[in-house]
A and B are shown apart, each in its own frame.
Chain A
Amino acid sequence: MVTPDQLESDWLHGVFEVLREELVSLAADFGERVKHEIDQVAAVEAVRPPSAVALLASVAVETGNMAGSLLTPAPATDDSTDEEDK
């Protein structure tokens, strides 16, 4: 059996149908604005992986190490012998 309460709700569901079916005409740049904001936040909050910055940093460290090893004179053979002896 249908209650008066249910009838009221059915009526209101009918009335509100126009709002349920309504398509909001979003500002043309809405989606882009949101994505831009997310991009900014991702960079600032470091929720992006170590990606570009970390990659560059690790490359810099490696390059530094390589340059260092090329410029540093070879260690004395005595030392290396001692190390090996140990």
Chain B
Amino acid sequence: MTTEPDDAALVREAARRGLAGQLAFETLVDRHQQWLVRLLTHLLGNQSDAEDVAQDAFVRAFLAIESCGDGSRFRGWLRVIARRLAFNHRRDARARAHYEEQSGVPMPHANESMTGRLGERDLLKQVLGELAYPYREIMVLRFVEELPLKDIADLLEIGESAAKMRLTRARAEFQREYEKRGGGRGDTRPA
């Protein structure tokens, strides 16, 4: 029986470059694509953009793999890259939307839903998607990615107290909207 190499081993191999390095990196792609696209879908609001940004993130990670350092933290390192790219992507998309709005070009509303349970999930996504971006981002990092506050602060490049304040506000905003639209605590909580 063969055991799968862990991320640290794959990152080391990838950093050695060559065909073997490329194959090692491709294993990392297989291993991390699911959560990365999911994270980006929640941040960007649609899966198509999320896949584009995820692809970009993987390519950049591949080119800079030597700077990953501790390979066992590959996921966190990739998350930092993806988060920056998502931010830029969103900024560019907003600029495009603004231009299209100015020039009267109708914009398609991109909001693909992912497969699975409807209802509560859709409401959750809707409310999340309508939060101001910094609030949405911190909610996703805290409650979907389940990162501790310290890691969130590092990722967002802000102090821990600033992260806590942002999270408190985001939570309040989310809760207000969620409950206003019928999402509740008792009966909506998954069993």
A15 at the binding interface (Cβ < 8 Å): yes
B78 at the binding interface (Cβ < 8 Å): no
Q: How far is B175's CA from A50's CA once the two chains are assembled, in angstroms? A: 57
Q: Which of B1-9, B34-42, B150-158 contacts A (4 or more CB under 8 A)?
A: B34-42
Which residues of chain B have a CB within 8 Å of any CB of chain A? Answer: 17-19, 22, 25-26, 29-30, 33-34, 37-38, 41-42, 47, 51, 54-55, 58-59, 62-63, 114-117, 120-121, 124-125, 139, 143-144, 146, 171, 174-175, 178, 183, 185, 188-190
> B18 contacts which of A22, A26, A38, A51 (Cβ < 8 Å)?
A51
- Please, how many residues of chain A have a CB less than 8 angstroms from a CB on the other chain? 33
Contacting pair B17 A47 (CB below 8 A): yes
A30-B120 in contact given A37-B55, A47-B63, A48-B18 (Cβ < 8 Å): no
A49 at the binding interface (Cβ < 8 Å): yes
Please, which residues of chain B bring their CB within 8 A of the CB of A76? none
Number of A-B contacts (CB under 8 A): 107
Q: How far is B110's CA from A43's CA once the two chains are assembled, in angstroms? A: 34
Q: How far is B121's CA from A24's CA once the two chains are assembled, in angstroms? A: 13
Please, which residues of chain B bring their CB within 8 A of the CB of A17? 190
A20 at the binding interface (Cβ < 8 Å): yes
Q: How far is B22's CA from A39's CA once the two chains are assembled, in angstroms? A: 8
Contacting pair A19 B121 (CB below 8 A): yes
Type the 1/0 row for A1-36, where 1 means its CB is closer than 8 Å to any CB of B. 000000011011111111110111111001101110
Q: A15-B188, A48-B18, A51-B19 are in contact. List 12 more A-B contacts (CB 8 A).
A: A19-B143, A20-B143, A24-B41, A30-B37, A35-B29, A38-B29, A38-B62, A39-B22, A45-B63, A47-B17, A49-B18, A49-B19
Contacting pair A19 B18 (CB below 8 A): no
Q: How far is B143's CA from A15's CA once the two chains are assembled, in angstroms? A: 9
